[in-house]
Structure 1
């Protein structure tokens, strides 16, 4: 069946009415074939039973049955035509595939490229190279584009060797002429070595990809942790502020009730006094009327008899001794606000204590750098203490050494992340602490402000705590600190100072713009005739 079908053409399976491949083929008594629907409609339209091919007329419309033989042949033809079409589509060169150079019109996919002909061939056009004796000797290879690039430009020969000396591809003539003293290997051998290197490179790349994926996972985890932390902070803030609002509302309600009760008592007192005064006024008016009537009486006897009783003024209170003043509620308001302030202060202290505890988790080991110390400073052997003396040491004038400012920097520098350290300032009347950027001017006395690369706070005159953020900012320090904690978040641009023992914030530098290394800054200040001779001591951090 398959062999026979190869001899059949599409024309043999066309209906003469619709001129398309048979659908439901039927045969008339005269032996001609049509689509069942086509012949039926033809007879219906013409109102006669006549064969469209031979014009034979049938007296009665013949009963039509599907011709199973032709139907099977048509089905087989359709299947083979579909397979042929599909196969043809698969052979067409797709984007990225090497097309046959010989095909005209639709380019089929090349199966081989000839290094002699410099042409790529599809299956059909490749056949001469497989059968013709002269073409069989040509060198075939898997299809590639731009075959000219595989030929030596100088000798017009295939590039078959790799010169290890010059690291380039050469032809056979190159190896005996220009490169005759060089080391050669076949391209395949060199490719194997390069593939091994590529596998190593691929492994490294995959490892790099894996590390970056792990980093992405780490960042996502940190983001989730940050979100959880932020949510916790928000919840705690909402709790504190809600409690504060509720406490303020309760305090306000109590204040209103207390003042209301006092006002009610005052009003009742005023009402009682008013009634008593009105009663006395009534009695006095009655006596006034009696006096007036008696004074007009012509009855001398009656006047004289009534005079002792009438002429005396009725006994009343001495209202000059009785005072009535409006109630003052300022004291009540002050006491209510004081209670609220105490409550708020306690909540703030709890929050600061938690904040300080988190900052202490970033504690770092800090030592002082003698190469930056002012010549009047004395550093301990362990690099943890510094104080000022009146004797100047003969030291090399390093570029980073402070010449005029009585200061010293840390050995450690930081350009990312968080850090925390603590300094004991007990017994000192003046000091300066903080962080500075690497490019500060260490040879001149300059203002210790962020604009000049200093984020510091200081003590002056024994009780003046201030910072140089723009204008001088005096700090509200209620208790003299003994230990000062310094926290830096480089990435967030934050520098914070704490009174460690009181768990209180001394000052926050926020929205700082860090773009270079930071060093820790220590200024013990002049000893002031011994009054400020105590050292600054870098202490071990103990979580509060």
Structure 2
């Protein structure tokens, strides 16, 4: 008999009690075949004895004899099925770690293709074939392969868990429903599965909504960080610009101060040089007259001395240097004046900076007031960007000025009270 013919008629070799291929097949007097062990246990439990197929009662337990023909056919079927399994096992993959192995394979366990909830067995492609071709096994419920199929059996009654007890919220078998859970409410597992699946669908939708909200929050935070970075970059650029201007102003004032002091020093040195030159010239004239006087004073020529005495006695014309002096220049107030001018420059730059910052903050506040719940009627700008006071809009828009401006003391000018900046308070 070929393997194909065996497969076409294999339902003839299945025991109606265990739904598996016959083991030691025996025939009852009514002509039905069973596994010897299956029918023996059945008759041990059910008294009087009857045939599980036709329900015929036997007053005396029939003597069982092995059906030699069916036994040989079953043996041949098993051999051909094993050969086919061996030939196809080379084409199928062995079960890897984490995959469900076939419970029927001997030796190398092949990867299970399906699990039977009735047989509580996982089958590879070869051993699954009877469940796809045999009429009795086609009624079994198949599912994707899972491990620990014994967990799907009632530990108390050793029956499949087929019902769901809504009272105790647990899976039970048919015997549980008439014994331990007799007064409870039951539904089929599939019905409860559909309900729970629908609930999980709602839960999944809620989770996805939560994920979307958090993704939006992440985007919002990133946008805030980007705005903060833009503000920081702008502040740094303005700071560099302002402090560069201040540095240049300080250097310019220092250079002017040094130039003024050095100019005074040069004037003093020039005056001193002129005095020294004039004094040296007079000294030269006096030394010349002194030499002449000395020469004539040692002369023995009486006439010559007397003739030149009047011109020698008179001193050469010189300047009265008694009141002449070089006074060091006064530097008093020079540094103070330079610092004062620098303070004026700094004050002008600070005023420009404050005006620009105030204008930017006011513009930000106006942008925020686009929300009618936070509108401030005092922060509406005209086309020329001048602040206007539209008191007539107070009836329409709530006065939430405190959202942008904190109360200021009455003795301080408007430019001194704190302004709420979008990235932190700043005081001007």
TM bin, normalised by shorter chain, reads 0.5 to 0.7
State whether structure 2 residue 91 is matched by structure 1 residue 88: yes
The more displaced of 229-238 and 97-106 is: 97-106
State whether structure 2 residue 306 is matched by structure 1 residue 321: no
Note the C-alpha offset of 1:146.
1.0
- Secondary structure, counterpart of 2:122 in structure 1: strand
Q: Give the direction of change, closer, same or farther, for the CA distance of 1:136–1:280 in structure 2 (3 Å limit).
A: closer
Q: Give the direction of change, closer, same or farther, for the CA distance of 1:222–1:133 in structure 2 (3 Å limit).
A: closer
Equivalent pair of 1:423/1:483 in contact (CA under 8 Å): no
The structure having more radius of gyration, on CA atoms, is 2
Structure-2 separation of matches of 1:330 and 1:160: 109
Q: Give the direction of change, closer, same or farther, for the CA distance of 1:122–1:86 in structure 2 (3 Å limit).
A: closer
Note the C-alpha offset of 1:103.
1.4
Note the C-alpha offset of 1:419.
7.8
Note the C-alpha offset of 1:324.
0.7
In the other structure, the counterpart of 1:423 is 408
Matches within 5 A, 1:324-335: 324-329=326-331, 331-335=333-337
Equivalent pair of 2:89/2:110 in contact (CA under 8 Å): no
Q: Which of the numbers 207, 213, 216 marks the counterpart of 1:214?
A: 216
Structure 2 unaligned blocks of 5 or more: 1-86, 369-373, 375-402
Equivalent pair of 1:359/1:420 in contact (CA under 8 Å): no
Note the C-alpha offset of 1:237.
1.7
Structure-2 separation of matches of 1:85 and 1:315: 143
- Secondary structure, counterpart of 2:101 in structure 1: coil
Q: Which of the numbers 133, 148, 168 marks the counterpart of 2:170?
A: 168
Structure 1 unaligned blocks of 5 or more: 1-83, 366-417, 427-479, 504-544
Structure-1 separation of matches of 2:314 and 2:132: 160
In the other structure, the counterpart of 1:179 is 181
Matches within 5 A, 1:264-275: 264-275=266-277
Matches within 5 A, 1:261-340: 261-300=263-302, 302-329=304-331, 331-340=333-342
Equivalent pair of 2:113/2:122 in contact (CA under 8 Å): yes
- Secondary structure, counterpart of 1:200 in structure 2: helix
Structure-2 separation of matches of 1:102 and 1:130: 16
State whether structure 2 residue 417 is matched by structure 1 residue 485: yes
State whether structure 2 residue 129 is matched by structure 1 residue 197: no
Q: Give the direction of change, closer, same or farther, for the CA distance of 1:116–1:189 in structure 2 (3 Å limit).
A: closer
User: What whole-Å deviation, never above 9, does each CA across 1:35-81 have from its counterpart, x for those lacking one?
Assistant: xxxxxxxxxxxxxxxxxxxxxxxxxxxxxxxxxxxxxxxxxxxxxxx
Q: Give the direction of change, closer, same or farther, for the CA distance of 1:337–1:139 in structure 2 (3 Å limit).
A: closer
Q: Give the direction of change, closer, same or farther, for the CA distance of 1:145–1:420 in structure 2 (3 Å limit).
A: farther
Structure-1 separation of matches of 2:356 and 2:180: 79
Note the C-alpha offset of 1:279.
1.3
Structure-2 separation of matches of 1:206 and 1:265: 87
Structure-1 separation of matches of 2:174 and 2:318: 145
Note the C-alpha offset of 1:169.
1.2
Note the C-alpha offset of 1:304.
4.8
Q: Give the direction of change, closer, same or farther, for the CA distance of 1:173–1:237 in structure 2 (3 Å limit).
A: same
Note the C-alpha offset of 1:322.
1.6
Equivalent pair of 2:292/2:312 in contact (CA under 8 Å): yes
User: What whole-Å deviation, never above 9, does each CA across 1:140-163 have from its counterpart, x for those lacking one?
Assistant: 444322111111111111111111
Structure-1 separation of matches of 2:187 and 2:194: 11
In the other structure, the counterpart of 2:114 is 112
Equivalent pair of 1:424/1:483 in contact (CA under 8 Å): no
